[in-house]
Amino acid sequence: AQSVTQPDIHITVSEGASLELRCNYSYGATPYLFWYVQSPGQGLQLLLKYFSGDTLVQGIKGFEAEFKRSQSSFNLRKPSVHWSDAAEYFCAVGNNAGNMLTFGGGTRLMVKP
């Protein structure tokens, strides 16, 4: 069975500081990996995805993530955080059959002015 762990439940960073959100997955084959963001009272929006190829993927809103197979990780990064980035972030792994997308528990990001 596939699973995702996001070790950090809450993270607080200052506006303008860099950000890294951690994600570790468990899946027996090459995974399909995603990061979604949820703003308060909203549904989820896709930030970026990894299917194959270049292990550093670029997403919307200046986010990027790096797939590291040896560490089973897919960490999300942003060089300079904006106050509007305050939200909850979810890492997810999809199976090859395309029927299951498993989410991590989420990381809530707070941004200090």
Partner 1 sequence: EAQVTQNPRYLITVTGKKLTVTCSQNMNHEYMSWYRQDPGLGLRQIYYSMNVEVTDKGDVPEGYKVSRKEKRNFPLILESPSPNQTSLYFCASQLHGASSGELFFGEGSRLTVL
Q: What is the dihedral angle through the alpha carbons of 101, 104, 108, 109, rounded to the nearest 10 degrees?
A: -80
Alpha-carbon distances, residue 102 vs 30, 58, 77, 99, 113 (angstroms): 15, 21, 21, 10, 33
Residue with Cβ nearer partner 1 (107 or 111): 107
The count of residues interacting with partner 1 (CB under 8 A) is 27
Residues 35-54 binding partner 1 (CB under 8 A) are 36, 41-46, 49
Residue with Cβ nearer partner 1 (73 or 95): 95
Task: Kindly state whether residue 30 participates in binding partner 1, applying the rule CB under 8 A.
Answer: no
- Rounded to a whole number of angstroms, the minimum distance from the CB of residue 44 to partner 1 is 5
Out of 80, 84, 96, 110, point to the residue binding partner 1 (CB under 8 A): 96
Q: Which residues contact 61 (CB under 8 A, 6 or more apart)?
A: 37, 47, 78, 85
